[in-house]
A and B are shown apart, each in its own frame.
Chain A
Amino acid sequence: EAAVTQSPRNKVAVTGGKVTLSCNQTNNHNNMYWYRQDTGHGLRLIHYSYGAGSTEKGDIPDGYKASRPSQENFSLILELATPSQTSVYFCASGGTGGGDTQYFGPGTRLLVL
């Protein structure tokens, strides 16, 4: 199975602060994704990328930026964190074929105070 790692695993941030969540995958997948998971909403797509240098807006991009500096790394950036961004964030990677499975990292639990 694809290996996707995330850091940090837990983060406490202050309102208005900057938060960077990092994701690394070692399976040479072109596509990478950032989701958040909240009770009652399921998994929602924030940003995704088709390869190094590319980022695309997902379904809920407001308040978030993304960066894909290399094939392996994909970051999610909260420039001005707000309490509403308290959530569990998952990174995933997958191939470019239509039926390719997405593989998830272990998640980052973010609390914005």
Chain B
Amino acid sequence: QQKVQQSPESLIVPEGGMASLNCTSSDRNVDYFWWYRQHSGKSPKMLMSIFSNGEKEEGRFTVHLNKASLHTSLHIRDSQPSDSALYLCAAMTNSAGNKLTFGIGTRVLVRP
């Protein structure tokens, strides 16, 4: 069964700073990665997805993917207090039939 490891477990970032989150899959056949953001007491909301090697940027958020190392990272620049949340990495392999495996998450706190 695929495992998804996230690091660090928690992160404190000053307002305006950069947050960097990491995620690695144990399955060499992983095909897709997602990053979800979950504010306290709310449900996970898809933030970004990445399926091909390289980088993808959307506003203040950038994701990287290196399929050879099964590693993806999420970077948040100019962090805002509203970015304080639990960030979940999820991975899927085509052979697993549209099932996602989630990491435990990285809790980000942005201090004003």
Give A contacts to B, CB under 8 Å.
31, 33, 40-45, 48, 50, 58-59, 90, 94, 96, 98-107
Is chain B's interface secondary structure helix, strand, loop, or mixed overall? loop
User: In the complex, A105→B88 CA distance in Å?
Assistant: 16
B32 interfacial by beta-carbon distance below 8 Å: yes
Which chain A residues border B105 with CB–CB below 8 Å? 42
Select one of B31, B99, B103, B104 contacting A45, CB under 8 A: B99
B94 at the interface (CB under 8 A from A): yes
Q: Which residues of B contact A (CB under 8 A)?
A: 1, 31-32, 34, 42-46, 49, 51, 88, 90, 92, 94, 97-100, 102-105
Known contacts A42-B105, A59-B1, A98-B94; is-contact A104 B44 (Cβ 8 Å): yes
Contact B98 A94 (CB under 8 A): yes
Per the bound structure, the CA–CA distance linking A62 and B100 in Å amounts to 19
Whether B94 contacts A101 by the Cβ 8 Å rule is no
Are A107's CB and B43's CB within 8 A?
yes
